[in-house]
Structure 1
């Protein structure tokens, strides 16, 4: 399953955007309102839970300066990644798109497609006011 957020344009350079997203504790400010738990576990790993959903642990797996950050599932039964692609629009403007990739059986994919789509859309939208 491959889901993409809308692209959002930020009034920040690619470097500023990359630095913000590289610090996992900043993801707390991007989370939806229905978050029930957020905890930084390590410098590159955090746990979060949305109301009515199981806890998810994400770990920074890859970082390509000013271009891409890849977060992946750390433990648990589901294997997936959340990729932030950062593109320069102008000297002080950048564009970010989040992509969720995961291998799920058809039943699981049907159940999580809606909530995951809404989740990554919220993360992207919240970047406009937070980053």
Structure 2
């Protein structure tokens, strides 16, 4: 299952956005209002939970400065990744899009497609306010 957030414009350089998103503790400021738990587990690993959803642990898997950061599932029942694509649009402006990719059976995909789509859209739209 592959999902993408809308592209969002950020009035910061790709390097600034990359540095912000590289620090996983900053994801707490991007989370939706219905977050019930956020915990930094290690320097590059965090746990979060939204009301009515199971806890999810993400860790930084790969970075390609200043254009890409890949977070991946750290354990759990579903293997997936969340990739931040950062593109320069001007001297001090960027465009960011989040992409979710997971190897998920069709029954599970039907159940989680809506909540995951909403989550990545919220994360993306909160980036310009938070950076």
Give yes or no for TM over 0.5.
yes
| Distance (Å, rounded) in 2 between the aligned partners of 1:22 and 1:91 | 21
The alpha-carbon deviation at position 51 of structure 1 amounts to: 0.3
Give the match for residue 26 of structure 2.
Answer: 26
How far apart are the structure 2 equivalents of 1:80 and 1:38?
19
Q: Which residue of the partner structure matches residue 85 of structure 2? A: 85
Q: What is the alpha-carbon distance in structure 2 between the residues aligned to residue 63 and residue 128 of structure 1? A: 20
1:115 matched to 2:115? The reply is yes
1:36 alignment counterpart: 36
Q: Which string of whole-angstrom CA distances, capped at 9 and with x for unpartnered residues, describes residues 72-98 of structure 1?
A: 000011000000000000010010000
Q: Distance in 2 between matches of 1:39 and 1:96?
A: 24
Task: Tell me how many residue pairs correspond in the alignment.
Answer: 131
Alpha-carbon offset, residue 128 of structure 1: 1.8
2:85 is paired with a residue of what secondary structure? strand
So what's the TM-score if we normalise by structure 2? Answer: 0.99
Q: 2:22, 2:12 → 1: CA distance?
A: 14
TM-score w.r.t. length of structure 1: 0.99
* Ranges in structure 1 where 5+ consecutive residues have no aligned partner: none
| 2:72 match: secondary structure | strand
Q: Does 1:128 align with 2:128?
A: yes
Q: What is aligned with 1:106?
A: 106
